[in-house]
Structure formats: C-alpha cells, structure tokens
Chain A
Amino acid sequence: MTDGASTPGWLLAGAEDAPPLLCSGKRRRGGAIEKTVGGLARLIREALVSEEIAARRGLLQRLDARVKLIGMLGLLIATGLVRHIPVLLGLYALTLVLAAASRIGLGWFAKRVWFFIPLFSGVIVAPAMFSFITPGEVVLPLGHWFGHEVGLTRQGLTSAALIVCRVASSISLVLLLTLTTSWSRLLASLRTLFVPRLLVLVLGMAYRYLFVLLDSVTEMVTARRARTVAAKRSRRGERAIASFSGGALFGKAHALSEEVHQAMLARGFSGELRMSEWPRIRAIDVISVLTCLALAILVVGGDRALGL
C-alpha cells in the first residue's frame, strides 16, 4: 500500500481530530519468556538444519556415517584421556583441518564452537583459577587474606585452560560428525551401534516434532500477545499462564499423536523400524576408521610420554 493514488484520502488524513481509540494502552515489549521463545526458535532451526552442509562435496561427507561415528567416539575418548594443553590444541587444530577439508567455513565453525564456551564453561571454571579453590603456586598475587597470599595459581590456570581446551576439542569433534552427516544416516548408524529401536524411533520423531512444538509455542505466544490489551500484569498470573500453556501444549500433542499414529498405520507401519539400505563399505572408509583409531592411540600414547 505504498501507492498513494489507490489509498482513499480519509485514510491518509492525519488522525488529530479522530476520536481516541478505546485501547490506547502502550504497546509493551514482550516479557522474558516471549523474547526467549523467539530467539530460541531461530537458534534451534539454525542448529538442526545442517542438511545443506551434509550435502556438500567434502572429505567427511564422503565417508560412511558408521565410520564417522566410530572414529568420532575414538577421538573423543582420546581427548578425554589427554592431560596436556599442547596436545589438546593439536587435536583442536586437527578438527579445524578436517572442517576445512569438508568445506565448512572455518570462521563459522569456530564461532559455533566458541560461542557457548565463554558463556558456560568460562563462567563455571573461572573461580577455579584462584588460590582459595585450587591451592598452589601463586603466579598473579591479588592481595592477602588473613595472612595468606591470594591470587591466580599456576595449578588453577592450568586446570581451567585444560578444561576449556578439552571442551572446545570435544564439541568440535561432535559438530564435525553432525554437520557432515544427514540426520537419517546418523540415526541409522546409531541403530548399528545397538541403540534400542524405540530410542531411535523416538529420537527421529522428537527431532521432527521439535519444530512442530516450537511452532505451536510461537503461535501461542503470539496469540497471547494479540489478546493482551492492558499493561498491568502479575507474576502470579504469568506463572499460571505459563503452566496452562504447557498443559494445553501437552493436550495438543496428545491429539496430534493420535492423528500421527493413524497416519503411520495407514502407511503400513508395523512396529518395525526400517532403514534404507546401507551403501557398501569402501576401502576409504576402512582406511579412515583405522586412521582415526590409530591416531587416538597415538595421541594418548604421546600424551603419556610427555609425563603424567
């Protein structure tokens, strides 16, 4: 409606002499929950829709999902066993090389990994650097407390850095797997690792219904905002609404689940979970999984050679 010619003049005329509207309350910015729901929906969509990267033609995309899963687990255990920061940094560098070889933007990849680390691990680990949590050799004195020197200790700093590096390497390894593998293949590979059928079924459906549920939540929040006219609100009322909405959501889910089950039966669901045929294991797959496992052993061995 940017075209002025098609808009009647009375609509464009100023509203100075128009009678005040009945609902003239100020439009409020949404509460914490409303804002978070919107941000959350975007975040989850971003994190879960990685099929585009999985379809690129890169190194890891070429490998069999089972091979990647086993290789990732091997390297993850090695990361857990490593006790030296340089070795962990080496492992992190390896994940960056693998990401580059799999045509994942390095900046984007690093951002995905490091976005949450300062936020969570950083806050959790920070107090451990101080002498009152981790006693030891004080390298950065900050003062005295009842005659004892307080400050950052060598042991505390090492321990905090060790954890942050290990978390970063671990998350990078897991991300490499999930980014370069399509979800259906990943699920199927879980089945080959003897994960129970029901768990895989629920995992697959939960992944799908997360979006449906998120849409429902977003709609409910929007509908509630649309009906909110007064600025006055109470915490008690908000809590009641949150739990009523949760209850209503479960009710909706229940109704939906009946429909989905009917649809499953109509399409011939017999209680058995069928996966599409696995492609044959190729030489490159065997070589990759052996390389990963050898690397894992080498890393742990090298780490132990550096001393305990």
Chain B
Amino acid sequence: MHIPDGYLSPATCAVAGAVMVPVIGVACAKTKEVVKDRHAPLLALGAAYSFLVMMFNVPIPGGTTAHAVGAVLIAVLLGPWAAVVCVSVALVIQALFFGDGGVLALGANTFNMALVMPFVGYGVYLLLTRNTSLTSRRRAIAAGLGGYVGLNVAALCAATELGLQPVLFHSANGTPLYAPYHLSTTIPAMALAHLTVAGFSEFVLTAGIVAYLQRANLPLLRINHSGIVDTDAELAPQSGRPALRWALIGIATMIVLSPLGLLAPGGAYGEDSPTDLNLHKYGLHAIPSGLQHYNGFWKHTLLGDYGFSSGRHANIGYVLSAIVGALAVGAVIFFFVGGVRLAMRRRPEAQADAA
C-alpha cells in the first residue's frame, strides 16, 4: 500500500499532508496520556514490529503493493493514537532508508495506514467486544476482523487516491502525468489482493497474537484495557438481547428508507425490459426469440416492480414490498437454522468429536 513519490501529484500530497500534520500533533499528545513515558520503548518496538510486518510485500499491477500492516494490533495493545505514532514512524523509516513509499507521499501513506486503518479496525474491535471479558475468545476474533476490515478500508483509500490521479492530472493528448490507472482499475486491483491474501495474513497475525497474549501475557493486554474483567465468569449478567434489538432497529430503518431507491435515475445494468433495449447498438434487428419467450415467464407476482398493480402510491408499495420481503427472508432463515439445530442436536456424539 506504500505509494512512492511520483505516483501522486504534489497537490494531492499537499492535501493529505495538511490533514495529517494536525492529526500527528494530536496523536502525540493523546499517546502521552494513554501510554506513559514508561512505555516509550514499547512504542518504538511497536513501530519496529509494524516495519517488519510491512517488509513482506508483493507488488500489484494496477495498484501499489499488498502486505499486512499490524496497525490494528498496535491499536488494540496500546490504543489507536499510539498506533498512529507507531505506524507513522515505521513509514518514515521506510521512506527515508528504503525508498519504500515516498517522502512527499508520506501524508497520503500515513493517512491510509496510520490513521484510517487503526481507527476503523479499532472501531470494529470495540463494536464486537462489548460486554466481553479480557480472555474471551470473541476478543481475539474481533481483533482479527478489525485488522481485516481496517486493512481493506485503508487499501480502498489508497486505491481512491491513485485512481483519481489520471482524472485530475493528464496532459493535452491524454497522457496521465502521475499514476496512470483509473478508479475502475485501482479499486478492483487493490481489493482483490487485500480481500484475500493480505487481509487473511493480517487477520491471522492479529487474532493469533491477541489469542496468545490472552493465554500467556495478560499484563500486556491490560495496558489499553483497564477496568475490563479477566474472565467471562466475572461479567455482570446482561438483560435482554441487545444484539437482536439492534439488528431489528437496523432492518426497520432500511425498510423505512427503501423508497429512496425511487430517486435513482436509470435502470440497473442488465435488468432492462426487452422493449427498452437499444437493438442497433448490438447489431440486432429484433428481440432474440429466447429472450422474448422467457420474458414475463413468471406472471404470478404479488407486488410486481415493488408496487401495486395500479402503479399508484409508489412509496407505500416500496415499504410494503420491503416488509413482505424481509419477513419472507426471515422466515426462510428461521426454518433453515431451526432445521440445522435440530439435526445437530440429534448427533451429540458427532458434535463432541468436532469439538
């Protein structure tokens, strides 16, 4: 994800730098609050750790490089602001001594890897670890998922910065002056590498190290987790099922907002009705017979085109469709999960083997 000098226009670098200068200032001040002077060497080692992890990288045609960063692990251990400091330091050393990532591009690189990644990842981690103890298994997996999500959001930021260059900066004859790839190339290229290999290694590394520390070195985890009980047995019992409540609130919000879809102009790609097809564009003179035959094959829809057959009250039709659809999908999942559970209960010995 290291963007070298020359890939980004100085204007982009200036914008990113202007964002990062105050952020670094705040990060240094905040880090001093959480991580006392006593842990300054630990910060240095965090930076060294991130440096080493980032050395294992592969170039991606169409993007930059793919590698794990370790930012979310540092955020979990020492807090997200400390992660900003650690990863920035690692990036500075790489830029100065290895030419890996540019000096002018430091603003953009630190924005992606030292700001976006630890904060997004740490947010995911916090969200998934509410009401869990320090040694809970969920905590390790949450840290891993945080790493995975954080890395991918950071890669998306890098891809966006690179992909905007040819649009914003090109010469009169269309020669791109900086990074040559458009968003349509950079985003898939970066996403493919980071959703699979790099994201996977970040997940394994982060979750594995947190799981190891849970077993072997709790004091290290306590630095950034003061006031969290050690084992699940000590947790105060929770009332209700907040997860279910939040899920229902989320679905209800989406149902209410569903008429927003009416505002979108045009049709979805590949979903046009045969009569709307631009036949000349494809060198056709008539609608292909198969398409003609199977179009409208199923005529027994309850709410055709997500509305009433009269075509009136489009908003109410949309909301009603959303409710009916959500209930139908919910019922299918309910019965499917119920069936799987029943099957699992009938084979307790198989379950014991798996465990």
Residues of chain B with a CB closer than 8 A to A100's CB: none
Distance in Å from the Cβ of A241 to the closest Cβ of chain B?
Answer: 9
Mask, B310-327, CB within 8 Å of A = 1, is 000000000000000000
What CA separation (Å) do A134 and B7 show in the bound complex?
16
Known: A73-B103, A196-B28, A250-B217. A209 touches B48 (CB 8 A): yes
With both beta carbons as reference points, the residue of chain B lying nearest to A46 in the complex is identified as B97
Shortest Cβ gap from A244 to chain B (Å): 5
The answer to whether B85 touches A202 (Cβ under 8 A) is yes
| CB-contact partner of B7 in A163, A196, A202, under 8 A | A163
Residues A167 and B4 in contact in the complex (CB < 8 Å), given A124-B61, A246-B205: yes
Known contacts A128-B180, A163-B7, A251-B213; decide if A40 and B55 are in contact (CB<8 Å).
yes
State how many angstroms separate the Cβ of A103 from the closest Cβ of chain B.
20
Residues of A within 8 A of B93 (CB): 203, 206-207, 210
- B80 CB to closest chain A CB (Å) equals 15
Which residues in A have their C-beta under 8 angstroms from that of B44? Answer: 202, 205-206, 208-209
Contact residues in B for A209 (Cβ distance below 8 Å) = 41, 44-45, 48
Q: Give complex CA distance A167, B133 in Å.
A: 49
Does the CB pair A202–B65 fall under 8 Å?
Answer: no
B102 neighbours in A (Cβ, 8 Å)? 170
Question: For B40, what are the chain A residues with a Cβ–Cβ distance below 8 Å?
Answer: 198, 201-202, 205, 257, 261, 264
- Inter-chain CA distance A202–B27, complex, in Å, is 13
A47 at the interface (CB under 8 A from B): yes
By secondary structure, the A interface counts as helix
0/1 string, A65-94, CB within 8 A of B gives 1 = 000000011001101110100000000000
Binary CB contact string for chain B from 19 to 31 against chain A (1 if under 8 A, 0 otherwise):
0000011001001
The interface of chain A, by Cβ under 8 A from chain B, is: 36, 40, 44, 47-48, 72-73, 76-77, 79-81, 83, 113, 116, 119-121, 123-128, 133-137, 154-156, 158-160, 162-163, 166-167, 169-171, 174-175, 177-178, 186, 196-199, 201-203, 205-210, 213-214, 217, 239-240, 242-244, 246-251, 253-254, 256-258, 260-261, 264, 269, 271, 308
For the complex of A and B, the 6 pairs showing the least CB-CB separation, nearest first, are A243-B208, A247-B212, A166-B6, A205-B44, A170-B5, A257-B41
